[in-house]
Amino acid sequence: MARKRKGQPIHGWLVLDKPEGLTSTQALSKVRRLLNAEKAGHGGTLDPLATGILPIALGEATKTVSYAMDGAKTYRFTVRWGERTATDDREGAIIDRSDARPDEAAIRAALPAFLGEIDQVPPQYCAIKVDGERAYDIARDGDVVDLAARRVRIDRFELVEMPDADHAVFEIDCGKGTYVRSLARDLAEALGTVGHVAVLRRLRVGRFTLDTAISLDELAAMDHGAAVERLLLPIETALDDIPALALTEAEAHRLRHGQAVALLTRQDLERLTAIRGAVGGDGIVIALFAGKPVALARVEGAEVRPVRVINL
């Protein structure tokens, strides 16, 4: 006999403003407990030091988590010049010092080299697996982790302010897999000094922004039913870059049951032509009936095949 799940079936996205000091998993557990949700996941890890946008997927929205994690992100962060730490943020032990402090002109001149696609070596303390073991576990044992450079994308890198000679505040727009700690480390090196991330806040993940975010304290103070009704965003919020394909009732029925749908009539071909230019290399669309998601599906020729059925 199957074990009964605990909690209520709640479906959609909640945008959490994660506080400092919690891991993403701990924050997720608190949200799930506060809402008594049956199933939950998060759309992009934040370090305990970091605050800001942590999209929480509830119920069937968990099937779209990978798309949230692929979304473009915006960060605001403060670099502390003159001190390098083992973790490349303020939580690590200081392992190097420098008396050099870059001025505004030098900083602005260095930023363009970090725009576009760049190769970036992840921090020693990160969750990447090396021979089956997390890099941070290897580093905690005192060993040096040999991490290969990864290609990441930086779309915007701006100096926001310089509160004093020891600190500078930046904002970036970046793609998946970017390590802000590595960016701060490498920028400091390019400026002839050392540095680490002192403050980190995520302002955006795809379409998830601070405008619709809520803190854990605010969530705890709300009635659960009101919280769900007022705060929950639709499942398709994470699918902003994926074209939508409207279905008939019969087509929706077939996809829900794992069957392919053939689009062969003239009207069908017009629907396919309308979305084909927007479909990426993987051919994925969000199939909708009466405005509600039915499945993530793949367009193959004149057929639409279900990839992940969304049970609402």
Q: Is a pLDDT exceeding 80 seen at residue 138? A: no
What is the distance between the alpha carbons of residues 10 and 39, in angstroms, rounded to a whole number?
Answer: 8
pLDDT given at position 163: 97
Which domains are delineated in the chain? 12-71+207-238 (3.30.2350.10), 73-205 (3.30.2350.10), 242-309 (2.30.130.10)
Mean predicted confidence (pLDDT) in 158-183: 96
Under the banding of pLDDT at 50, 70 and 90, the label for residue 98 is very high
pLDDT given at position 281: 52
Under the banding of pLDDT at 50, 70 and 90, the label for residue 1 is very low
pLDDT given at position 268: 73
Q: Is a pLDDT exceeding 90 seen at residue 19? A: yes
**pTM confidence score:** 0.88
The lowest-confidence range among 57-71, 176-190, 276-290 is 276-290
State the Cα angle at 215 between 210 and 216, rounded to 5°. Answer: 150
The lowest-confidence range among 3-7, 15-19, 145-149, 270-274 is 3-7
Tell me the one-letter amino acid at 238. A
Burial class (CB in 10 A: 0-12, 13-18, 19+), 165: exposed
In Å, how far are 67, 121, 135, 286, 298 from 255, measured between CA atoms? 20, 43, 41, 11, 11
Tell me the one-letter amino acid at 115. L
Q: Is a pLDDT exceeding 70 seen at residue 139? A: no
Residues labelled as active-site residues: 47
pLDDT given at position 68: 87
What tokens were used for 283? 């051919």
Strands (E), the chain: 12-18, 40-42, 51-58, 73-81, 83-85, 94-97, 116-120, 129-130, 133-134, 150-164, 167-174, 195-205, 208-209, 244-246, 261-262, 284-289, 292-300, 303-309
pLDDT digit string, tens, across residues 197-207: 999 999 999 99
What is the distance between the alpha carbons of residues 76 and 178, in angstroms, rounded to a whole number?
Answer: 13
Place of tokens 């709640």: 10
